[in-house]
Structure 1
Amino acid sequence: MIQAILVFNNHGKPRLVRFYQRFPEEIQQQIVRETFHLVLKRDDNICNFLEGGSLIGGADYKLIYRHYATLYFVFCVDSSESELGILDLIQVCVVIK
């Protein structure tokens, strides 16, 4: 199940933030910052899957992301979701736009 969808630019400014689990506003902002730093420090040549940060659920959740031009598309999903399915969903979202 998808827990959150985050889209932010290369500088970490959120462009779209949607949580499907209730978090206080301060925690949401911390999650966006933590996710941005986790994704930004990764090289473009390595896989697009990583374990969720400590704020959003730890090892039970995965962050699946793609970097297109100046935007990062990040989906936080639980362990029952297919990584390749989510990557395909991101691709469909980008192509439709």
Structure 2
Amino acid sequence: MIRGVIIMNDQGQPRLVKFYEYQPVEKQHELIRSIYRILCSRAENVSNFVKVDSLFGSDVRLVYKTFATLYFVFIFDNSENELAMLDLMQVFVEILDKCFSNVCELDVVFNFNKVHTILDEIILGGQVLETSTSEVVKAVEEISKMESKANWQGR
């Protein structure tokens, strides 16, 4: 099961935080700070997979990747394959790139609803729903059309 997805900038400021198991807000902040400290202390030539026993327990790992100034972090347990999680992260980034044409930190900040919608089309309740880039982009475009129509009719 996927336990959480975090996007943070290179200064440790969270830009998207989604935990699939309840975590109190204080605990979320503590986890984000701890994860950021771990990621910053890692050399560039090491694996993108990290065991985080001290934070989540013995069966939880995280995978991360940096794109421009953003860290993308997936937290998952032993029921998920590490390489599949890395691939899923790549799918998420590719979809963001298609929806925002070369996604950057400001896209995530100013379009957080759309980013959450994209993530919800890929992962729901910690389970992977869809990995097809074209299917997710199509679903997000449909949702955007419906939102625009609802906003137009609401005036």
TM-score range, shorter chain: over 0.9
Partner of 2:95: 96
The runs of 4+ residues in structure 1 deviating greater than 3 Å are none
Distance 1:53 1:31 in 2: 12
Report whether the alignment pairs 1:6 with 2:45: no
Separation of aligned partners in 1, 2:16 and 2:53: 19
- Could you tell me how far 1:85 is from its partner in structure 2? 0.5
Number of matched pairs? 96
Aligned partner letter, 2:49: F
Q: Which structure shows the higher strand fraction?
A: 1
Q: Which has the higher contact order (CA 8 A, sep 6+)?
A: 1
One-letter amino acid of the structure 2 residue matched with residue 89 of structure 1? L
Structure 2 unmatched runs, 5+: 97-155
Report sequence identity in percent: 45
- Stretches of structure 1 that go unaligned for 5 or more consecutive residues are none
**Following the alignment from structure 1 to structure 2, what is the Cα–Cα distance between the partners of residues 23 and 90?**
22
One-letter code of the match for 1:79?
N
Structure ranking higher in helix proportion: 2
- Indicate if the aligned counterparts of 1:50 and 1:64 stay in contact, CA closer than 8 A: yes
Q: What is aligned with 1:16?
A: 16
Amino acid at match of 2:19: F
Tell me how far 1:96 sits from its aligned partner.
Answer: 1.2
Deviation for aligned residue 1:54: 2.1
Distance 2:22 2:95 in 1: 28
